[in-house]
Amino acid sequence: MPTHNCVGCGNCCDGEGWVVFTAERFRALAISLGQTVDMLADRSGFRRYAMNEHYSRHGRCPWVVDRKCAIHDRPRPDFCIAWPHIAGEDWLENARARDCQGVVEDGE
């Protein structure tokens, strides 16, 4: 059975979609960057909504730079951490559809 080991190729981050942070992770990211939550929200284009979640205003992640995640080693959204397994049993199909370089085939 193939496995997944993220190599930071950025293919999973390519494209539009919602980027959702819990308030706790967003605060942790702000602290790790030496900013307040309000500063980070202003600079990144995120806004706070109900249920203490932060959503990207633009439908794209502001931390994708040259198709790479600029915060990969910092607090990230749960979705990003769980990718491609967020798709459940279809994770391998999902990863291959995005040309994920972290898919490790049997025997590799």
- Alpha-carbon distance 59 to 98, whole Å? 18
CB 25 within 8 A of CB 78: yes
Q: Tens place of pLDDT for every residue, the chain, 108 residues?
A: 788 888 878 888 876 667 778 888 989 999 999 999 889 888 887 776 544 555 565 566 788 888 888 888 999 888 888 888 877 788 888 888 888 888 888 755
Number of domains comprising the chain: 1
Q: pTM for the complete prediction?
A: 0.74
CB 24 within 8 A of CB 75: no
Q: What pLDDT, on a 0 to 100 scale, did the predictor assign at position 58? A: 59
Which residue, among 73, 74, 84, has the nearest Cα to 40 in the 3D structure? 74
